[in-house]
Amino acid sequence: MEYHNPVLLKESVDGLAIKPDGIYVDVTFGGGGHSRKILERLGPEGKLYAFDQDKDALENKIDDNRFTLINENFRYLKRFLRFYGVKQVDGILGDFGVSSHQFNEAERGFSTRFDAKLDMRMNQGDKLSAYEVINEYEEEQLKKLFYAYADLKNAPKLARTIVSERKNNPIETSEQLNELLKPLLFKGKENKILAQIYQAIRIEVNQEIEVLKEFLLQTEEIIKPDGRMSLISYHSLEDRLVKRYIRSGLFEGEPEKDMYGNISVPFKKVNGLVVPSKEEIKQNNRARSAKLRVARKL
Protein backbone atom coordinates (compact mmCIF):
# COMPACT_ATOMS: atom_id res chain seq x y z
CA MET A 1 0.00 0.00 0.00
CA GLU A 2 1.49 3.31 -1.07
CA TYR A 3 2.32 5.79 1.66
CA HIS A 4 4.69 8.59 0.72
CA ASN A 5 7.71 9.80 2.65
CA PRO A 6 6.81 11.10 6.07
CA VAL A 7 7.16 14.87 6.36
CA LEU A 8 10.00 16.39 8.47
CA LEU A 9 11.03 12.87 9.43
CA LYS A 10 14.47 13.51 10.91
CA GLU A 11 13.53 16.85 12.50
CA SER A 12 10.41 15.53 14.23
CA VAL A 13 12.10 12.40 15.59
CA ASP A 14 15.20 14.40 16.65
CA GLY A 15 12.77 16.67 18.51
CA LEU A 16 11.85 13.76 20.82
CA ALA A 17 15.46 13.45 22.09
CA ILE A 18 14.88 9.69 22.32
CA LYS A 19 16.14 7.68 25.30
CA PRO A 20 16.89 4.09 24.27
CA ASP A 21 14.83 2.63 27.13
CA GLY A 22 11.99 5.20 26.93
CA ILE A 23 8.29 4.82 26.16
CA TYR A 24 7.04 6.77 23.13
CA VAL A 25 3.77 7.30 21.27
CA ASP A 26 3.22 8.04 17.59
CA VAL A 27 -0.39 9.26 17.57
CA THR A 28 -0.68 9.33 13.75
CA PHE A 29 0.80 6.04 12.52
CA GLY A 30 -0.29 6.17 8.83
CA GLY A 31 2.35 4.45 6.75
CA GLY A 32 4.55 3.97 9.80
CA GLY A 33 7.48 6.11 8.59
CA HIS A 34 7.87 8.09 11.82
CA SER A 35 7.35 4.95 13.92
CA ARG A 36 10.10 3.04 12.11
CA LYS A 37 12.50 5.91 12.69
CA ILE A 38 11.66 5.98 16.41
CA LEU A 39 12.18 2.19 16.68
CA GLU A 40 15.63 2.55 15.06
CA ARG A 41 16.63 4.74 18.00
CA LEU A 42 15.09 2.63 20.77
CA GLY A 43 17.04 -0.08 22.57
CA PRO A 44 15.66 -3.54 23.43
CA GLU A 45 13.95 -2.14 26.56
CA GLY A 46 12.23 0.74 24.72
CA LYS A 47 8.53 0.74 23.84
CA LEU A 48 6.50 2.43 21.11
CA TYR A 49 2.71 2.68 20.99
CA ALA A 50 1.06 4.00 17.84
CA PHE A 51 -2.51 5.17 17.19
CA ASP A 52 -4.41 5.22 13.91
CA GLN A 53 -8.19 5.13 13.53
CA ASP A 54 -7.99 4.19 9.82
CA LYS A 55 -8.20 0.42 9.41
CA ASP A 56 -6.06 0.67 6.23
CA ALA A 57 -3.14 1.61 8.48
CA LEU A 58 -3.23 -1.88 10.04
CA GLU A 59 -1.73 -3.24 6.83
CA ASN A 60 1.50 -1.37 7.66
CA LYS A 61 1.79 -2.83 11.16
CA ILE A 62 5.44 -3.24 12.17
CA ASP A 63 6.51 -6.69 13.32
CA ASP A 64 8.57 -5.78 16.38
CA ASN A 65 7.96 -6.87 19.97
CA ARG A 66 8.64 -3.30 21.18
CA PHE A 67 5.75 -2.01 19.07
CA THR A 68 1.96 -1.91 19.65
CA LEU A 69 -0.51 -0.46 17.13
CA ILE A 70 -3.82 0.76 18.55
CA ASN A 71 -6.61 1.09 15.95
CA GLU A 72 -8.28 4.09 17.63
CA ASN A 73 -8.53 7.86 17.39
CA PHE A 74 -5.78 9.61 19.38
CA ARG A 75 -8.42 11.65 21.23
CA TYR A 76 -8.63 8.49 23.41
CA LEU A 77 -4.88 8.58 24.12
CA LYS A 78 -5.05 8.30 27.90
CA ARG A 79 -7.78 5.68 27.95
CA PHE A 80 -5.95 3.25 25.64
CA LEU A 81 -2.52 3.78 27.17
CA ARG A 82 -4.10 2.96 30.55
CA PHE A 83 -5.52 -0.21 28.98
CA TYR A 84 -1.90 -1.23 28.24
CA GLY A 85 -0.82 -0.29 31.76
CA VAL A 86 0.99 2.89 30.66
CA LYS A 87 0.46 6.00 32.82
CA GLN A 88 3.25 8.22 31.51
CA VAL A 89 5.53 8.36 28.48
CA ASP A 90 8.81 10.01 27.49
CA GLY A 91 7.56 11.55 24.29
CA ILE A 92 4.73 11.92 21.79
CA LEU A 93 4.95 12.53 18.05
CA GLY A 94 1.98 13.72 15.96
CA ASP A 95 1.72 14.47 12.24
CA PHE A 96 -1.78 15.88 11.71
CA GLY A 97 -1.94 15.74 7.91
CA VAL A 98 -4.09 13.43 5.82
CA SER A 99 -1.84 10.63 4.58
CA SER A 100 -1.01 10.55 0.88
CA HIS A 101 -2.58 7.09 0.85
CA GLN A 102 -5.94 8.56 1.90
CA PHE A 103 -5.66 11.26 -0.77
CA ASN A 104 -4.76 8.70 -3.42
CA GLU A 105 -7.55 6.23 -2.70
CA ALA A 106 -10.24 7.63 -4.98
CA GLU A 107 -13.16 6.02 -3.15
CA ARG A 108 -12.27 7.73 0.14
CA GLY A 109 -13.35 11.05 -1.39
CA PHE A 110 -10.55 13.19 0.15
CA SER A 111 -9.22 14.53 -3.11
CA THR A 112 -10.65 16.99 -5.65
CA ARG A 113 -8.87 14.98 -8.38
CA PHE A 114 -11.18 11.97 -8.51
CA ASP A 115 -14.89 11.55 -9.00
CA ALA A 116 -15.95 9.71 -5.88
CA LYS A 117 -18.79 9.52 -3.40
CA LEU A 118 -18.60 12.32 -0.84
CA ASP A 119 -17.06 10.54 2.14
CA MET A 120 -13.82 11.87 3.77
CA ARG A 121 -14.12 9.78 6.94
CA MET A 122 -10.74 8.86 8.40
CA ASN A 123 -12.52 6.21 10.43
CA GLN A 124 -14.79 4.28 8.08
CA GLY A 125 -16.99 3.33 11.04
CA ASP A 126 -18.03 6.93 11.79
CA LYS A 127 -21.60 7.95 11.00
CA LEU A 128 -20.95 11.48 9.72
CA SER A 129 -19.51 11.68 6.20
CA ALA A 130 -19.07 14.53 3.73
CA TYR A 131 -22.39 13.49 2.16
CA GLU A 132 -24.31 14.40 5.35
CA VAL A 133 -22.42 17.67 5.76
CA ILE A 134 -23.19 18.79 2.20
CA ASN A 135 -26.77 17.50 2.04
CA GLU A 136 -28.08 17.95 5.57
CA TYR A 137 -26.30 20.89 7.22
CA GLU A 138 -28.29 24.14 7.44
CA GLU A 139 -27.09 27.00 5.25
CA GLU A 140 -25.84 28.85 8.35
CA GLN A 141 -23.79 25.82 9.47
CA LEU A 142 -22.19 25.48 6.04
CA LYS A 143 -21.38 29.19 5.96
CA LYS A 144 -19.68 29.03 9.38
CA LEU A 145 -17.71 25.97 8.38
CA PHE A 146 -16.34 27.58 5.19
CA TYR A 147 -15.43 30.73 7.13
CA ALA A 148 -13.84 28.99 10.10
CA TYR A 149 -11.96 26.13 8.44
CA ALA A 150 -11.11 27.57 5.02
CA ASP A 151 -11.22 31.33 5.57
CA LEU A 152 -13.32 31.77 2.42
CA LYS A 153 -14.72 35.25 1.87
CA ASN A 154 -17.52 33.98 -0.35
CA ALA A 155 -18.69 31.42 2.24
CA PRO A 156 -22.31 32.75 2.22
CA LYS A 157 -22.57 32.32 -1.56
CA LEU A 158 -21.06 28.81 -1.46
CA ALA A 159 -23.47 27.74 1.28
CA ARG A 160 -26.49 29.26 -0.49
CA THR A 161 -25.61 27.55 -3.79
CA ILE A 162 -25.23 24.13 -2.16
CA VAL A 163 -28.53 24.42 -0.29
CA SER A 164 -30.40 25.59 -3.38
CA GLU A 165 -29.00 22.77 -5.58
CA ARG A 166 -29.74 19.95 -3.15
CA LYS A 167 -33.44 20.89 -2.97
CA ASN A 168 -33.73 19.37 -6.47
CA ASN A 169 -31.06 16.65 -6.33
CA PRO A 170 -28.85 15.33 -3.56
CA ILE A 171 -25.16 16.15 -4.14
CA GLU A 172 -23.56 12.71 -4.03
CA THR A 173 -20.13 12.92 -5.66
CA SER A 174 -17.07 15.14 -5.69
CA GLU A 175 -17.58 15.72 -9.43
CA GLN A 176 -21.10 17.13 -8.78
CA LEU A 177 -19.78 19.36 -6.01
CA ASN A 178 -16.84 20.60 -8.12
CA GLU A 179 -19.08 21.40 -11.10
CA LEU A 180 -21.58 23.21 -8.89
CA LEU A 181 -18.99 25.41 -7.15
CA LYS A 182 -16.52 26.09 -9.98
CA PRO A 183 -18.48 29.09 -11.39
CA LEU A 184 -18.17 30.76 -7.95
CA LEU A 185 -14.37 30.43 -7.73
CA PHE A 186 -11.71 32.90 -8.87
CA LYS A 187 -10.47 32.08 -12.36
CA GLY A 188 -7.09 30.39 -12.33
CA LYS A 189 -7.42 29.54 -8.63
CA GLU A 190 -10.25 27.01 -8.87
CA ASN A 191 -8.20 24.02 -7.74
CA LYS A 192 -6.63 25.84 -4.82
CA ILE A 193 -10.01 27.07 -3.54
CA LEU A 194 -11.67 23.68 -4.09
CA ALA A 195 -8.87 22.13 -2.02
CA GLN A 196 -9.67 24.64 0.78
CA ILE A 197 -13.38 23.77 0.56
CA TYR A 198 -12.58 20.05 0.80
CA GLN A 199 -10.26 20.74 3.73
CA ALA A 200 -13.08 22.54 5.56
CA ILE A 201 -15.51 19.65 4.98
CA ARG A 202 -12.88 17.11 6.05
CA ILE A 203 -12.11 18.99 9.28
CA GLU A 204 -15.83 18.99 10.09
CA VAL A 205 -16.38 15.32 9.21
CA ASN A 206 -13.48 14.17 11.37
CA GLN A 207 -13.94 16.82 14.11
CA GLU A 208 -10.23 17.53 13.71
CA ILE A 209 -10.16 20.72 15.81
CA GLU A 210 -12.03 19.14 18.76
CA VAL A 211 -9.86 16.03 18.53
CA LEU A 212 -6.65 18.08 18.58
CA LYS A 213 -7.81 20.06 21.63
CA GLU A 214 -8.82 16.91 23.53
CA PHE A 215 -5.47 15.34 22.70
CA LEU A 216 -3.39 18.37 23.71
CA LEU A 217 -5.16 18.64 27.07
CA GLN A 218 -4.14 15.05 27.89
CA THR A 219 -0.45 15.58 27.13
CA GLU A 220 0.25 17.47 30.34
CA GLU A 221 -0.67 14.45 32.44
CA ILE A 222 0.78 11.79 30.11
CA ILE A 223 4.23 13.20 29.30
CA LYS A 224 6.81 12.79 32.08
CA PRO A 225 8.71 15.82 33.34
CA ASP A 226 11.48 16.57 30.82
CA GLY A 227 9.66 14.46 28.20
CA ARG A 228 8.98 15.91 24.75
CA MET A 229 6.23 16.40 22.23
CA SER A 230 6.96 16.91 18.57
CA LEU A 231 3.91 18.01 16.55
CA ILE A 232 3.47 18.72 12.82
CA SER A 233 0.51 20.82 11.64
CA TYR A 234 -0.61 21.69 8.12
CA HIS A 235 -3.08 24.51 8.48
CA SER A 236 -3.06 27.66 10.53
CA LEU A 237 -5.96 26.63 12.79
CA GLU A 238 -4.11 23.56 14.04
CA ASP A 239 -0.78 25.31 14.27
CA ARG A 240 -2.33 28.15 16.28
CA LEU A 241 -3.82 25.69 18.80
CA VAL A 242 -0.49 23.87 19.19
CA LYS A 243 1.45 27.12 19.53
CA ARG A 244 -0.95 28.60 22.11
CA TYR A 245 -1.08 25.40 24.12
CA ILE A 246 2.72 25.20 24.27
CA ARG A 247 2.97 28.87 25.22
CA SER A 248 0.27 29.05 27.88
CA GLY A 249 -1.38 25.65 28.42
CA LEU A 250 -4.59 27.28 27.08
CA PHE A 251 -6.27 27.70 23.70
CA GLU A 252 -7.49 31.23 24.34
CA GLY A 253 -6.96 33.96 26.91
CA GLU A 254 -3.88 34.31 29.08
CA PRO A 255 -2.69 32.07 31.94
CA GLU A 256 -3.11 33.34 35.49
CA LYS A 257 -0.10 34.86 37.25
CA ASP A 258 0.88 34.23 40.86
CA MET A 259 1.52 37.09 43.31
CA TYR A 260 5.04 37.51 41.91
CA GLY A 261 3.79 37.82 38.33
CA ASN A 262 5.02 34.35 37.29
CA ILE A 263 2.89 32.08 35.18
CA SER A 264 2.84 28.33 35.57
CA VAL A 265 2.71 26.55 32.23
CA PRO A 266 3.07 22.81 31.53
CA PHE A 267 5.48 23.02 28.57
CA LYS A 268 8.36 25.09 27.25
CA LYS A 269 9.14 25.33 23.56
CA VAL A 270 12.43 23.69 22.64
CA ASN A 271 13.24 25.71 19.53
CA GLY A 272 11.52 28.01 17.09
CA LEU A 273 9.21 26.89 14.33
CA VAL A 274 10.72 24.26 12.00
CA VAL A 275 9.60 24.11 8.36
CA PRO A 276 10.69 21.76 5.54
CA SER A 277 13.68 22.61 3.37
CA LYS A 278 13.22 23.61 -0.28
CA GLU A 279 14.70 20.23 -1.14
CA GLU A 280 12.09 18.32 0.86
CA ILE A 281 9.24 20.35 -0.67
CA LYS A 282 10.61 19.59 -4.14
CA GLN A 283 10.58 15.86 -3.40
CA ASN A 284 7.27 15.87 -1.52
CA ASN A 285 4.75 18.56 -2.39
CA ARG A 286 2.64 17.62 0.66
CA ALA A 287 5.36 19.06 2.89
CA ARG A 288 4.91 22.63 1.66
CA SER A 289 2.54 23.78 4.42
CA ALA A 290 4.01 21.67 7.27
CA LYS A 291 5.06 23.34 10.53
CA LEU A 292 6.82 21.49 13.34
CA ARG A 293 6.77 22.63 16.97
CA VAL A 294 8.69 20.84 19.71
CA ALA A 295 8.10 21.32 23.44
CA ARG A 296 9.54 19.95 26.67
CA LYS A 297 7.43 19.10 29.70
CA LEU A 298 8.42 21.19 32.73
32 belongs to an annotated ligand binding site:
yes
Q: Is 141 marked as binding a ligand?
A: no
Q: Are 286 and 100 in contact (CB under 8 A)?
A: yes
- 56 among annotated binding-site residues: no
Is 31 one of the annotated binding-site residues? Answer: no
Length of the chain, in residues: 298
Q: How far apart are CA 138 and CA 144, in angstroms?
A: 10
4 is in an annotated binding site: no
**Is residue 63 within 8 Å of residue 40, measured between CB atoms?**
no
Binding positions: 32-34, 52, 74, 95, 102
Binding positions for S-adenosyl-L-methionine: 32-34, 52, 74, 95, 102
